[in-house]
Structure 1
Amino acid sequence: MADGPRYLGLITGVFCGALVSTIILSGKIAAVAGATFPASIVLFPLTFLIGDVLTEVYGYAATRRAVWAGLISELLWIASYTAAAALPPAPFWPHQDTFSALLGQTPRIALAGMIAYVCGEFVNAYVLARMKIASGGGYLALRMIGSTVFGAATDTAIVLVIAFYGVIPAGQLLKMGLAVWVLKVMWEILALPISLPLVRWLKRREQIDYFDVGTDFNPFRLQR
């Protein structure tokens, strides 16, 4: 502990990398068994799982810093892509239109994704931290699932309403939202055999099991 948490920086880095990857994957809309959803669903729920791990082991304040670091990573990706797309292509490189079509994000979708991500992650972390205090640190699996239920619902509702309301029929939008929300929660449940041992291992290695008693839950405050 003298040198600070050993794995916090690594976990935050994976968190930011997963967020940037989901921006790229969200450019594809997949259809499975009649349900449609962004392809980012294969990875985005990992951010809720990592958020759970951060909050459970290191506390809400550590998750808060990771959320803002993730937002900065997203903004850096968008700025980098915009600059790269604006560069004139080499005469022998015929893929400019494909590059723009696959990686480009309309301002509305990009804005929706960032707002939804920030709100969803903070709801997830807040619910988990409060449930941990209320339960005395017990029922970890139920707390991780419960926080994801609320966080994923917040994220999904915001991104679909801001990005697609008025573009996709309301009935189809609701079906897509329910499918995405269920998939995110199922992702969390299926990952429990990995996430639960990981949390226990981190607590032993770091000798940290933070309870957010007295924590300021203001999302814009970077201290505890």
Structure 2
Amino acid sequence: MNKASEKLITLSGLFVSVIVVSNIIAGKLINIGPFVITLSVLIYPLSFALSTIIFEIFGERIAKKVIYTGFLASLILAIVSYITILYPPSPIFENNDAYLTVFNATPRIILASFLAYYFAQIVNLWAFSFSKTVFRTENIYFRNIISMFLTQFVDSLIFVLVSFYGVYEWKEVVNMILSQYIIKLIFSALNSPIISLSVKRLKRDLVLEQ
């Protein structure tokens, strides 16, 4: 196995792990100052950083395959969540209510994640590539910031509406959309130097290997 394949496997594994963990913890709401966000916001933006790195190093076709793999992992989680809810527990197991509390929310969260994930990841790849053409620049930091303004709005809007519309008051839902959008933009800005350095390092390593 060559170095390029090893790095792609590592990046893909990290990407899928972030998606699965994000789906599991997304039902918990937390406060960061005045902002109300789901716990997954602290880790989910990393998925965009990883898909962007894969896109820049390995191309759009491979990046989309990795995104579809993450989609499949989310589907498996949804199926397992339903089994967890429906399958009767052993009489000696006393914590079933806790499992039901967590996993009853998971199917709706995962549906929201399916929709937000798919559209946001595709928009991310499109915007990252489009900004390169429009602004005629190879600057990854700049292109990532541009793509994130659009991508994180799409992701926040779809995810919060599907997850929490009808569960909380409309005012709280709007607050969550704006809160998630702002926090995700901040995390995306922090991710940009990591993306730029990672791409440069990977390209250099792969060139040296050749």
| Per-residue CA distance 1:82-122 (angstroms, 9 max, x = gap) | 22333332233211110121233354432122111100000
Structure 1 residue 136: Cα displacement: 4.6
1:179-190 pair list within 5 angstroms? 179-190=179-190
1:1-224 pair list within 5 angstroms? 5-105=5-105, 107-207=107-207
Q: Superposition RMSD on alpha carbons, in Å?
A: 2.2
Instruction: Quote the Cα distance in structure 2 between the aligned partners of 1:185 and 1:57.
Output: 23
Instruction: Quote the Cα distance in structure 1 between the aligned partners of 2:167 and 2:84.
Output: 28
Aligned position for 1:213: none
| Per-residue CA distance 1:42-82 (angstroms, 9 max, x = gap) | 11111111111112222222211111100100011111232
Instruction: Quote the Cα distance in structure 1 between the aligned partners of 2:188 and 2:116.
Output: 18
Instruction: Quote the Cα distance in structure 2 between the aligned partners of 1:135 and 1:57.
Output: 20
Structure 1 residue 3: Cα displacement: 8.2
Distance 1:21 1:101, change over 3 A: same
Gaps of at least 5 residues in structure 1 are 209-224
Aligned residue type for 2:125: A
Structure 1 residue 135: Cα displacement: 4.4
Using CA pairs under 8 Å that are at least 6 residues apart, name the structure with larger relative contact order, 1 or 2.
1
Q: Secondary structure at the match of 2:156?
A: helix
Identity of aligned residues (%): 24
Q: Secondary structure at the match of 2:37?
A: strand
TM-score, length of structure 1 as denominator length: 0.84
Distance 1:57 1:119, change over 3 A: same
- Determine if contact 1:59/1:129 at 8 Å carries over to the other structure: no
Instruction: Quote the Cα distance in structure 2 between the aligned partners of 1:77 and 1:53.
Output: 25
Q: Secondary structure at the match of 1:89?
A: coil
TM-score, length of structure 2 as denominator length: 0.89
- Determine if contact 2:82/2:107 at 8 Å carries over to the other structure: no
Instruction: Quote the Cα distance in structure 1 between the aligned partners of 2:66 and 2:34.
Output: 35
Instruction: Quote the Cα distance in structure 2 between the aligned partners of 1:161 and 1:28.
Output: 15
Question: What is the number of equivalent residue pairs in this alignment?
Answer: 208
Report the structure, 1 or 2, having the larger helix content: 2
Aligned residue type for 1:179: S
Structure 1 residue 204: Cα displacement: 1.4
